[in-house]
Amino acid sequence: MKLHELTIQDAHNLLKKKEISSKELTGAVLDRIEEVDEKTGAYITVVKKEALLDAENADKCISKGEITPLTGIPLSIKDLICTKGVRTTCASKILENFTPPYDATVITKLKKAGAVITGKVNMDEFGMGSSTENSGLKTTCNPWDVTRVPGGSSGGSAASVAADMCLGSLGSDTGGSIRQPASHCGIVGMKPTYGRVSRFGLVAFASSLDQIGPLTKNVSDCALIMNTISGYDPKDSTSVPKDVPDYLSALETGIEGLTIGVPREFDLDEGVHPDVSMAVKNAVKKMEGLGAKCVDISLPHSKYAVAAYYVIATSEASSNLARYDGVKYGLRDKNQNNLIEMFKNTRKAGFGPEVQRRITIGTYALSAGYYDAYYGKASQVRTLIIEDYSKAFEECDVILSPVAPAPAPEIGENAEDPLAMYLADIFTLSANLAGIPGISLPCGFSNEGLPVGLQLTGGHFNEETILKVAYNFEQATDFHKKKPNI
């Protein structure tokens, strides 16, 4: 196996035995980026010089016996997580030249663990999209078929992992933005419980929904990154002071006796691509073969999730993105003498059409006379969805569903239909509204050879159980071992 194809765990074992060096490993990954990224367009910024320097420092630590599971491991970072001294663009023209003066908490934790950051990867602008076509800077392609989207908004993260241009990545998930691209690219992606991972230094889209999480080649690597980035952070007021278990050790036991819920509202025979339906139904049979009990459950208010989400998320986006006004930082239109015109022209030039659309929707939903009818009502629906999950987890340990209703569409297929794009997250965004953890892992392929993902969700702070179920399924199948030919 080539060095860039290694998993985090395998690379760690070789580094620990000093059979390879981090400099060799990082060099192999950087060479891989040069070789294939012109086909995928995953990276916005590659920090080759800094990465090799970090790798040298990691090797010095390893030579002293100072090694963590991430020491010397090359990782990519979604370009809305602040990195000191390295551009953080949010894939938007309005922040195209913004360089943060500080690191996000997750970056601080990765650096403390000795990880090597290879660069920042592409995304839908400010995380608003499900295909990475809404990037204001470039187009990212799916490594399995470069005529198709990689999913979004963490499309660059998913593509960089699937194409072996890093050993793992950090993304963010507001309505499915880690899980859905993980599904489309045939890798593992986890959205932790809201409050489990610090959001300090994450550029906000919708503050009550955003959560940082890992995208990896397998479930074990996902657990390793979760061990590093999880935990309370006083810099984040939404961070929860709760002990972090060892997620890796949680994988060791089987799933015999666990109950897995299959929501009857997520009808696999209606509105779901037949290849996705077949893969998920086969996954249910495989779970039962592993000793789990699969039962029907109900999430009665899930049919309102898309509508509630796109009121809440756009309203919060309208508020959060008001700070980009051309005054403090980022793009400024310099051709106006009038302050109001400068505001208008800066935002018009800096924001892409999807971001403008969502700001407009959110501003309307929050406006006088409409707040109660839209944002207030959506918040009430959100409470009902949270209650649905609470009741469901009294009957089961984990909930199983598809991640996306269809395999990755062709680039441009839904470009003129925002509603079709929004419905791509129909199975994922309920978990964000409820604040519960969810994971996507490979469970099959379409007839055209495109990956299909399986979603597992659990109760609040129950990442251990969904990781355990995901790991046992992964070990009983070979889907995660297949690689795109790029």
Known catalytic residues are 78, 153, 177
Rounded to an integer, what distance in angstroms lies between the CA atom of residue 89 and that of residue 410?
Answer: 26
Rounded to an integer, what distance in angstroms lies between the CA atom of residue 104 and that of residue 320?
Answer: 17
Reading the block at residue 322, the tokens are 């008001």
The count of other CB atoms within 10 Å of the CB of residue 404 is 29
Burial label for 340, CB within 10 Å (0-12, 13-18, 19+), is exposed
User: Cβ distance 402 to 176 under 8 Å?
Assistant: no
Strands 74-78 and 211-216: unpaired
Identify the CA nearest to 205 among candidates 320, 99, 120, 315: 320
179: enclosing H helix or E strand: helix 179-185
State the SS3 of 96-141. Answer: CCCCCCCCCHHHHHHHHCCCEEEEEECCCHHHCCCCCCCCCCCCCC
SS3 of 369, please? coil
User: Cβ distance 31 to 190 under 8 Å?
Assistant: no
Alpha helices, H only, 262-320: 274-289, 305-320
Rounded to an integer, what distance in angstroms lies between the CA atom of residue 41 and that of residue 298?
Answer: 41
Amino acid type, 251: L
Strands 438-445 and 293-297: unpaired
User: Cβ distance 51 to 26 under 8 Å?
Assistant: yes
User: What is the number of alpha carbons within 13 Å of residue 278 lying toward its C-beta?
Assistant: 9
Q: How many helices (H) and strands (E) does the chain have?
A: 15, 11
Who's near 57: CB < 8 A, 6+ residues apart?
114
The count of other CB atoms within 10 Å of the CB of residue 213 is 33
Reading the block at residue 283, the tokens are 């996954």
User: Cβ distance 451 to 442 under 8 Å?
Assistant: yes
